[in-house]
Amino acid sequence: MLHTPTGGAGHGTATAGDRLMSIGTVLNQLREEFPEVTISKIRFLESEGLVEPRRTPSGYRKFGPEDVERLAQVLRMQRDHYLPLKVIREHLDALDRGEQPVLPAPGGPRDGVDGVEGDPDRPTAARVGRAELLVAAEVTEEELTEWESYGLITAGPGGGYDAESVNVARLVADLGRFGLEPRHLRAMKAAADREAGLVEQVVAPLRLHRNPQTRAHAEATVRELAALSVRLHAALVQTALGVRLH
pTM of this structure: 0.47
pLDDT of residue 133: 85
Q: Look at residue 125 in the predicted model and tell me its pLDDT.
A: 44
- Could you give the residue ranges of the DSSP H alpha helices within 48-140? 65-81, 85-96, 130-137
Q: Give per-residue pLDDT as tens, 86-128.
A: 888 888 988 888 888 877 655 443 433 344 445 544 444 457 8
Residue 43 has a CB neighbour count (10 Å cut-off) of: 16
Q: Which CATH number fits domain 1-124: 1.10.1660.10, 3.30.465.10, 3.40.190.10, 3.90.25.10?
A: 1.10.1660.10
Would you kindly state where each structural domain of the chain is located, as residue ranges? 1-124, 126-180, 183-246
Q: What is the pLDDT of residue 21?
A: 93
Report yes or no: 136 and 166 within 8 Å, Cβ to Cβ.
Answer: yes
Contact criterion met (CB below 8 Å) for 120 and 128: no
Q: How confident is the model at residue 246 (pLDDT cuts 50, 70, 90)?
A: low
Q: Which of 1-10, 141-150, 225-234 has the highest mean pLDDT?
A: 141-150
Query: What average pLDDT does the segment 213-239 reach?
Result: 83
- C-alpha–C-alpha distance, residues 226 and 106, integer Å: 28
DSSP run (H or E) holding 128: strand 127-128
Which of 205, 207, 233, 237 has its CA nearest to residue 219? 207
Q: What is the pLDDT of residue 156?
A: 84
More confident of the two residues 66 and 160: 66
What is d(CA 67, CA 74) in angstroms, rounded to the nearest whole number?
A: 11
The interaxial angle of helices 164-176 and 141-149, nearest 10 deg, is 100
Average pLDDT over residues 148-163: 87
**Residue 120, Cβ neighbours under 10 Å: how many?**
22
